Amino acid sequence: MGSGKHFDLFRTSEDHEELRSAVRQLAEDKIAPYAAEVDAEARYPQEADDALTASDFHAPHVPEEYDGVGADALATCIVIEEVARVCATSSLIPAVNKLGSMPLILGGSEELKATYLTPLARGKGGFSYGLSEREAGSDTASMKTRAKQDGDEWVLNGQKAWITNAGVSEFYTVLAVTDPDAKRGHHVSAFIVEKSDAGFSFGEKERKLGIKGSPTRELIFNDVRIPADRMIGEPGTGLPLALRTLDHTRVTIGAQAVGIAQGALDQATSYVLERQQFGRAVSDFQGVQFMLADMAMKVEAARGLVYAAAAKSERDDADLGFHGAAAKCFASDVAMEVTTDAVQLLGGAGYTQDFPLERMMRDAKITQIYEGTNQIQRMVMARKLLTAAR
């Protein structure tokens, strides 16, 4: 897939477009046929997992030195976008593998990276991200999960909430308070927890509006003992690392939102071309054409913002924080709007499970909420603007 270090911001490379074609083909052949069933039964999309893993699309971001394919940030976004176009649940496999392992990539020792990124790249275990708690969602610094040092081990106690692919993933990046007396923001450290660690368990699956096939569960820590070398980076650096991770991974949620919106637009366009009313194709009516034009315009604007943010993520630009927040916020708002309009264009049919639009509309909603609500994204953007202006 190439390093993509100098790709043209306004034109995807040939490699990127070849990748898009390959992922689209795989998604349509091996993921789309199961999407409705996965949603209806709220079951993990194992067919998608198998297909993505066999093609090295399950964690394309892992660098080549750890047996990964070393996809750049834009290539990773294209994978997520194309999978989300047919099944948002399945697109969380590459998205969450990046989210869970990004703190390790940004702050881990070489030894720790080799230990955990290599099996991830080889498809031997997914990676989830344990930051949020029931009472510490947007306000992450108020988390209650604790890690206490005991010789050459750390002992974890507490809970994490809303964890994507919990119970399926083998590895978990977990943020915990290691020094309650330290200054706020410098009291948290990051650890890697393995699914098999004694005392580590999972809560019941949440019953959700959308992305139903991706399990969302609590992580529960009861005296979970972790070797000291499983801390990512230095003690007290967990929160800045977690927030830096989100700067990068919000771009991937933007990509997921673009994929959902594109899928809905494609479905609606096909339907109005075939559907007849008053002796004409519904697509002949100007009111319908204007809706489609607005939908397509917004999807392209969102895609441009996401791809520009992906370029900044690849370079680790200083203004990534603003652009990552903007891409996630704008694209997810567009996804909600476009999927709602797509349901409307199908009329009564759009409201039924005979077509995928109602699923896409339900799936789109979460993109406005997770990895920071869109209210939080606006706060992030405003702070960056005001800081720059001072």
* Residues assigned a catalytic role: 371
Distance of CA 374 to the CA centre of its chain: 15
Greatest extent of the chain over all pairs of C-alpha atoms, in Å: 80
**331: Cβ contacts below 8 Å, ≥ 6 apart:** 253, 254, 255, 257, 258, 261, 302, 303, 305, 306, 367
Helix (H, G, I), strand (E, B) or coil at 365: helix
Give the distance, in angstroms, between the CA of residue 87 and the centroid of all CA atoms in the same chain: 13
Helices 286-315 and 73-84, interaxial angle, to 10°?
A: 150
CA angle, 183 then 322 then 384, to 5°: 55
- Interatomic CA distance for residues 302 and 269, integer angstroms: 19
**How many other CB atoms are there within 10 angstroms of residue 27's CB atom?**
27
The residue assigned the tokens 């993520």 is: 313
The pair of structure tokens assigned to 251 is 């771009």
Q: What is the CA radius of gyration of the chain?
A: 21
Distance CA 162, CA 141 (A): 16
